[in-house]
């Protein structure tokens, strides 16, 4: 069997190769658990399963955002997994006591991710063009500074758009 680097597997997964994602997940179980444990802190025993499932979803999201040559795979993967685990913990501890990633109980990881993407894209439809562009760039992990440079607008415009997005998502 040919051995691939994490970066190569992430690129293959981004291109739609699900077996590459499964190999990436199998080879990075320790990193997934470490990101979940970091997000849980003292609640590790209580929320470990939710955090691990969310960290696995974060690994998939990192594959989708990864751009070879621009991103450091290890940093991107760990931070995305930790962020997803934290999101799941907030949901689990919230008033609704959501006990699954993305609120889709009993579904596989890809179905959960797809459900979250559909929800996110439906929220984007009501935004103006600038807010949509900023939202997409932020979702890819780009900084506000790099977004401003890429779109040819001021950093304050990007900050204001990001603030509107956060405010809109809080009310959604």
pLDDT at 41 over 50: yes
Compute the C-alpha angle 36/41/46, nearest 5°: 80
> Quick one: 67 and 147 in the same domain?
no
152 in a structural domain? yes
> Quick one: 98 and 145 in the same domain?
no
> Quick one: 90 and 163 in the same domain?
no
> Quick one: 161 and 97 in the same domain?
no
- C-alpha to C-alpha distance for 48 and 20, rounded to whole angstroms: 25
> Quick one: 131 and 99 in the same domain?
no
115 in a structural domain? no
pLDDT at 72 over 50: yes
> Quick one: 24 and 82 in the same domain?
yes
> Quick one: 102 and 140 in the same domain?
no
CATH of the domain at 137: 1.10.10
User: Quick one: pLDDT at residue 99?
Assistant: 43
> Token match 């894209």: residue?
121
> Quick one: 66 and 99 in the same domain?
yes
pLDDT at 24 over 70: yes
- For residue range 87-143, list pLDDT tens digits in order: 888 887 764 433 444 444 444 555 666 666 566 655 666 678 888 888 877 777 778
User: Quick one: pLDDT at residue 105?
Assistant: 46
Confirm if 73 and 47 have CB atoms less than 8 A apart.
no
> Quick one: 92 and 10 in the same domain?
yes
Mean pLDDT of the chain: 77
The residue that leads in pLDDT, 95 or 42, is: 42
The residue that leads in pLDDT, 75 or 170, is: 75
> Quick one: 93 and 133 in the same domain?
no
- C-alpha to C-alpha distance for 74 and 56, rounded to whole angstroms: 14
User: Quick one: pLDDT at residue 157?
Assistant: 92
pLDDT at 82 over 60: yes
């Amino acid at each position: 069997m040919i051995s691939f680097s994490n970066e190569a597997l992430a690129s293959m997964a981004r291109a739609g190769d699900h077996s590459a994602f499964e190999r990436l997940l199998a080879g990075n179980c320790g990193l997934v658990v470490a990101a979940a444990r970091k997000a849980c802190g003292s609640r590790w025993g209580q929320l470990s399963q939710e955090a691990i499932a969310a960290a696995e979803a974060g690994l998939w999201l990192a594959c989708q955002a990864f751009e070879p040559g621009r991103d450091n795979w290890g940093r991107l993967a760990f931070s995305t997994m930790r962020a997803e685990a934290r999101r799941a913990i907030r949901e689990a501890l919230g008033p609704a006591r959501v006990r699954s990633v993305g609120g889709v109980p009993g579904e596989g990881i890809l179905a959960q991710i797809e459900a979250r993407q559909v929800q996110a894209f439906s929220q984007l439809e009501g935004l103006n063009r600038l807010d949509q562009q900023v939202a997409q760039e932020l979702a890819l992990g780009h900084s506000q500074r790099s977004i401003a440079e890429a779109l040819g607008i001021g950093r304050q415009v990007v900050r204001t758009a990001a603030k509107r997005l956060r405010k809109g998502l809080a009310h959604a």
